[in-house]
Amino acid sequence: MTESKENDTAAGPTAWRRSDGIAYQIPAYTAEGPGHPYFYELLDRIRALHDAKNTDYAKGGKPTGNFDRVGAIVSRYPFFQSGRRPELAVAMIYMLKQLDAALWLLSTDEKSVTGEGFESRMIDVAVYALIECVLFKEGGDA
C-alpha cells in the first residue's frame, strides 16, 4: 500500500492519501502537543541525521544506494543467492551493529572513543529500522 502527501504546511496538519483511497491527517506538533516534547525533538534529530548522512552516502543518487552496493557484495554469499534481498539484510546488520554498540556501552559503563554515546547509537537504530521499512516497501513487499 502506498501513501501520498496531499499538502505539507509547517503550521497545520498534513493530509495523506493511501493507495486504497483512504485519506487521513497527521496533526502538526508543537511543544504543547499530545506527545512527549523530547520524542519530537528526537524525530527532528533523526530527520537531520538522515539528511546529512544521505548526502554522504547517496551523493545525489538513489537514497538507499549504499544498501544496494553493499547488498551486491553480500549477494556473493550462498545464503543470498536464492533470490533473497541482500539489501534488507545489510540494513538489518547495520542496525544490529549499532544496537550491539549501544548494549556494550550500557552494560560496561564505558565511554565511546568516537563520541557516539548510548543515545546516538539508539537514534541510529531507529533510523535503520525506518530505512528497513523503506527498502521493504521499495521491493514491493509492503
pLDDT for 25-81, tens place per residue? 655 655 566 888 888 888 888 888 888 887 777 777 888 888 888 888 878 877 676
Q: Which whole number is the average pLDDT over 106-110?
A: 81
pLDDT at residue 123, rounded to an integer: 92
Whether pLDDT at 1 is above 60 = no
Q: Which whole number is the average pLDDT over 4-12?
A: 44
Burial of residue 15 (number of CB atoms within 10 Å: 0-12, 13-18, 19+): middle
pLDDT at residue 70, rounded to an integer: 84
Whether pLDDT at 3 is above 60 = no
Scored b (16 or more CB within 10 A) or e, 65-103 reads ebbeebbeebbeeeebeeeebbbbbbbeebbeebbebbe
User: In whole angstroms, what is the distance from residue 94 CA to residue 98 CA?
Assistant: 6
Region of 122 on the Ramachandran plot (φ > 0 left; ψ -120 to 50 alpha; else beta): alpha
pLDDT at residue 71, rounded to an integer: 83
pLDDT at residue 29, rounded to an integer: 55
User: In whole angstroms, what is the distance from residue 71 CA to residue 131 CA?
Assistant: 14
Regarding pTM above 0.75, the answer is: no
pLDDT at residue 87, rounded to an integer: 85
Whether pLDDT at 5 is above 50 = no
pLDDT at residue 8, rounded to an integer: 41
Q: Measure Cα distances from 136 to 24, 49, 85, 86, 130 in Å.
A: 23, 21, 9, 11, 10
